[in-house]
Amino acid sequence: MTGINQPVQMMEVPIPEIGPKDVLVKIKAAGICHSDAHYLAGISKQSFLPITLGHEVAGVIEKIGAEVKNLKIGERVCLHYNISCGECHYCLTGNDQFCPEAKMIGHHLDGGYAEYIAVPARNAIRLPEEISFEAGATLMCASATSFHALLKSRIRPGEKAAVFGVGGLGQSAVQLAKAFGATEVFAVDINDEKLRLAEKHGAIPINGKEKNPVEDIKKLNNGKGVDIALELIGLPITQKQAIASVGPMGRVVFVGLAEKTIELDTYREVLANEAELIGSNDHLLSELPLLIDFAKNKSLDTANIISKTIPLDADAINLALKELSDYSGAAVRTVIVP
Ligand SMILES: [Zn+2]
Ligand SMILES: [Zn+2]
């Protein structure tokens, strides 16, 4: 990326140097994410320009630093995109997303639309043979964020869940909620295609365009609210619906980035129900090996996530980014395979 709203360009750059605790990864797959279109549009500012985009990366270890002990050359890995200091209070307590030094690849550091990337060894998570590089790359963003949100919800076996918005995050959330033991997962969206896919993943689909989804959820749930609700859209209407959809002691997790504020009747909507409103931001390094296990044992079906692969080619990438920014592409996910 050379500038805001400029097409990305192919550039020859040196293979990155590695420090003693780093690994050099030969990239086999890099997901093109909606965030990348945001960076290109200037909605979120890049740390420097030109910068290599891409934060959803999987590949093979090509070189290891002198102090790296847990990884070997030739191993398949996918990368945690948040590079934190590893030493501050937040890093040491496993909450690396709050590390004041944290930098994201493709945003604050050069990323994965490339042939090689260097990262600290602890950012490289082993990727089993059962999971393709393409799936491994995309697991590192949307699925990981859904996974973190579900952990924040403290979902327990036997509980019931509602997922508002079943795009990339939501499809993973439905499957993972089931894997965590949710007996029923209601999927709310206004897109029939996405609802059909959610149904395939075991959800009860509810089209929020046709009727009030909260009434529907309660009707289908013996008049009761659900135990947890995930709001993945970030709109006031669905945020209010998510709050209304939970029963006593329900937990509502906000994941969708919202531009607008909402009004809340704290007495009737929160206090009376002992409801909990929970924020969920990104995901953690410590969660990723478990997420990989869920994908390996097929609790999380990654086959439906990737719909297109393209070469490391500026024109093909620009087209994919354009389709993301104007929603013209049917593809759920495009992955660069260098
Ligand atoms: Zn992403
Ligand atoms: Zn730190």
Tell me the CA–centroid distance for residue 86 and ligand 2, in Å: 5
Nearest bound ligand to CA 32?
Answer: 1
Nearest to 113 by CA among 321, 291, 289, 288: 321
Q: Are residues 45 and 120 in the same domain?
A: yes
Q: What angle do CA 72, 75, 78 make, to 5 degrees?
A: 120
Q: Are residues 122 and 158 in the same domain?
A: no
pTM of this structure: 0.93
Contact by Cβ (8 Å): 86, 285: no
Q: What is the dihedral of CA 225, 184, 146, 144, to 10 degrees?
A: 160
7 located within any domain: no
Whether the pLDDT of residue 328 is over 90: the answer is: no
Q: Are residues 230 and 320 in the same domain?
A: no
Residues with CB under 5 Å of ion ligand 1 are 33, 35, 141
Structural domain including 106 reads: 22-132+302-336
Tell me the CA–centroid distance for residue 56 and ligand 1, in Å: 6
Under DSSP, is residue 207 helix (H, G, I), strand (E, B) or coil?
strand
Nearest bound ligand to CA 88?
Answer: 2
Tell me the CA–centroid distance for residue 85 and ligand 2, in Å: 4
Instruction: Label residue 331 by pLDDT band (50, 70, 90).
Output: low
Nearest to 148 by CA among 291, 247, 337: 291
Instruction: Label residue 324 by pLDDT band (50, 70, 90).
Output: confident
Q: What average pLDDT does range 226-242 have in this prediction? A: 96
Residue 7 makes CB contacts below 8 A (sequence gap 6+) with 314, 318
Under DSSP, is residue 157 helix (H, G, I), strand (E, B) or coil?
coil
14 located within any domain: no
In tens, the pLDDT along 148-179 reads 999 999 999 999 999 999 988 999 999 999 99
16 located within any domain: no
Tell me the CA–centroid distance for residue 94 and ligand 2, in Å: 9
Q: Are residues 121 and 156 in the same domain?
A: no
Q: What average pLDDT does range 273-302 have in this prediction? A: 95
Tokens 């959800």, residue located = 203
Q: Which tokens in the block code for residue 16?
A: 């990155």
295 located within any domain: no
Tell me the CA–centroid distance for residue 295 and ligand 1, in Å: 18
Question: In total, how many domains does the chain have?
Answer: 2
Nearest to 200 by CA among 214, 209, 187: 187
Q: Are residues 151 and 123 in the same domain?
A: no
Instruction: Label residue 332 by pLDDT band (50, 70, 90).
Output: low
Q: CATH code at 325?
A: 3.90.180.10
Nearest bound ligand to CA 100?
Answer: 2
Least confident range of 71-85, 239-253, 267-281, 314-328: 314-328
334 phi and psi angles, rounded to 5 deg: -105, 135
Q: Are residues 108 and 184 in the same domain?
A: no
Residue 156 makes CB contacts below 8 A (sequence gap 6+) with 180, 181, 227
Q: CATH code at 181?
A: 3.40.50.720
99 located within any domain: yes
Higher pLDDT, 301 or 279: 279
In tens, the pLDDT along 251-273 reads 999 999 888 999 999 999 999 99
pLDDT computed for residue 167 by the predictor? 85
Tell me the CA–centroid distance for residue 96 and ligand 2, in Å: 6
DSSP 67: T
pLDDT computed for residue 306 by the predictor? 73
Q: What average pLDDT does range 38-49 have in this prediction? A: 94
Q: Are residues 79 and 119 in the same domain?
A: yes
Contact by Cβ (8 Å): 155, 176: no
What is the greatest pairwise CA distance in the chain? 62
Tell me the CA–centroid distance for residue 97 and ligand 2, in Å: 8
Nearest bound ligand to CA 83?
Answer: 2
Tell me the CA–centroid distance for residue 274 and ligand 1, in Å: 34
Instruction: Label residue 329 by pLDDT band (50, 70, 90).
Output: low
Burial 318-337 (b: 16+ CB within 10 A, else e): ebbbebbbeeebeebbbbbe
Tell me the CA–centroid distance for residue 83 and ligand 2, in Å: 9
Nearest bound ligand to CA 107?
Answer: 1
Tell me the CA–centroid distance for residue 137 and ligand 1, in Å: 9
